[in-house]
Amino acid sequence: MSDLMERWETPGFGVSNLKKVTRSRPVPGYGEILIRVEAVSLNYRDTEVLESRMYLEPEFPFTPASDMFGTVIETGEGVTRFAVGDQAVSMCITNWIDGEALDWSVAPPLGGTIPGILAQYVVLPADWCVHAPKSLTAIEASTLPIAALTAWMAVCELAPSRSDQTVLIQGTGGVSLFAAQFGLAAGANVIVTTSSDQKAEQLRKLGVKADNIIDRSITPDWPAAVMELTDGRGADNIVEVVGGENIRKSLDAVRQGGRIALIGFMESYDMSMSILPVLGKRVTIEGISVGPRRAMEDMIRAIDRHKIKPVIDRVYDFDEVPAAFQHLNSGPFGKVVIKVAS
């Protein structure tokens, strides 16, 4: 095995500055594992970090991305959670094992405030990884750390979905599709908003009822459609991925005493709304930023049990990282993944 490897890094902000470079292969220290990376999935957050829109200050040169699947090929002294040959999936939020959420100063996100994993080999503390699901391929398992775990926290962990509840999912990105799949697996009434006939057809193939798919381009007043579908009650739980002015529509669509899981900022980082609907409906608005390792392990067991398959929009080769980022920002149906090694 060569002592050299390739990885993608940038000397400064901007996706256009990403370059593939040759570096020394890292060596694991105490409590660390060396992983041969097989697949990396991209998230919208990765573009935001690279374009300096999340107000983070990473140290340059910087390697992006946080979500990967790989095989452990060497362990450092003191490692007990993994052995050589084990398949591992990274955690985005480091050091958060369980319990209350930790500040980024003590639980820095991979590919956020600390370097990421878009490389042929990475060394990570063993505590920052989990054992991969048995039912998924490398490509599929790489999509779990941010998108799947965020969705899991929104519809299974913090507000467990039930068969007598309605979950409203906005859009068809990675988080939204996982949320729809988890909601369906729990037996909930899942409603999804989308923007095209093609995406609506793909949602039906996932198991979403045709009548529960709302095309925003045809029905801009989608909260009224949600109310009609729920006999005037509203959605119990809304996965809010747009942000900005869209939060007002979510308030119109949520039921009395319902909950809005605030996840995304596709439209804007800012919110402007009257507090009266929040007070009048007694709504809980909760910000969600991924989750702890214990929840990830719970989720992986559920994925294996229910045979849930991540939706992959497109897979790119390791040499095609700039094209993968470009496709990521085009609004894919599902996840964009980079195949690093076979």
> Could you read off the pLDDT of 301-310 as tens digits, one per residue?
999 999 999 9
User: CA-to-CA distance for 64 and 75, rounded, in angstroms?
Assistant: 24
DSSP state of 51: T
Are 203 and 257 contained in the same domain? yes
| Cβ-based burial of 120 (10 A; exposed 0-12, middle 13-18, buried ≥19) | buried
pLDDT digits (tens, 9 = 90+) for 266-280: 666 677 777 788 788
Residue 296, domain member (yes or no): yes
Q: Report strand pairing: 235-240 vs 166-170.
A: parallel
- Which tens digit of pLDDT belongs to each residue from 22-44? 999 999 999 999 999 999 999 99
Is residue 121 located within the same domain as residue 12? yes
Domain housing 325? 4-146+292-339
pLDDT of res. 315: 98
The SS3 assignment for 63 reads coil
User: In this structure, are 273 and 331 located in the same domain?
Assistant: no
In a domain, 88, yes or no: yes
Assess whether 248 and 315 both reside in one domain.
no
Q: Are 240 and 261 in contact (CB under 8 A)?
A: yes
Residues 135 and 181 in one domain: no
Give the per-residue pLDDT at 243.
76
CATH of the domain at 50: 3.90.180.10
For residues 224 and 27, give the distance between their C-alpha atoms in angstroms, rounded to a whole number. 57
Q: Does 151 map to a domain?
A: no
pLDDT at 293: 97
pLDDT of residue 267: 61
Residues 59 and 106 in one domain: yes
241-252 tens-digit pLDDT? 887 788 899 999
Residue 324 falls inside a structural domain = yes
Q: Is the same domain home to 188 and 310?
A: no
Distance CA 121, CA 52 (A): 26
Q: Does residue 5 come out as left (phi exceeding 0), alpha (psi in the -120 to 50 range) or beta?
A: beta
Give 198: exposed, middle or buried? Use CB within 10 Å, 0-12, 13-18, 19+: exposed
Which tens digits make up the pLDDT trace of 38-89?
999 999 999 999 998 777 788 899 999 999 999 999 999 999 999 999 999 9
Residue 127 sits in the same domain as residue 186: no
Confidence of residue 159 (pLDDT cuts 50, 70, 90): confident
Q: Could you tell me if residue 152 is inside a domain? A: no
Mean pLDDT of the chain: 93
Single-letter residue type at 181: Q
Tell the residue number behind the tokens 């319990």, with chain if given: 99
Whether 247 contacts 273, CB under 8 Å: yes
Please indicate, yes or no, whether residues 283 and 296 belong to a single structural domain of this protein: no
CA distances to 80, 163, 197, 276, 334 from 155, in Å: 32, 12, 26, 25, 18
Mean pLDDT over residues 288-293, rounded?
A: 93
Neighbours of 53 (CB within 10 A): 13
Q: Which residues pair with 259 in a beta bridge?
A: 237, 284
Note whether residue 134 is domain-resident. yes
Instruction: Give the pLDDT mean for 276-298.
Output: 90
* Spatial separation of the C-alpha atoms in residues 91 and 93, rounded to whole Å: 6
The amino acid present at 242, given as its one-letter code, is V
Report if residue 29 sits inside a domain: yes
* pLDDT of 318 above 80: yes
Query: Are residues 266 and 312 located together in one domain of the fold?
Result: no
Question: CB count, 10 Å around CB of 215?
Answer: 16
pLDDT at 342 over 70: no
- CATH number of the domain residue 164 falls in: 3.40.50.720
Please indicate, yes or no, whether residues 207 and 325 belong to a single structural domain of this protein: no
Count of CA atoms in the C-beta half-sphere (13 A) of 52: 10
Count the residues in the chain.
Answer: 342
- 62's tokens: 């910087």
State pTM to two decimals. Answer: 0.93
* Counted domains in the chain: 2
- The percentage of residues in the chain with a pLDDT greater than 70, rounded to a whole number, is 98
139 and 242 fall within a common domain: no
81 occurs within a structural domain: yes
pLDDT of residue 268: 63
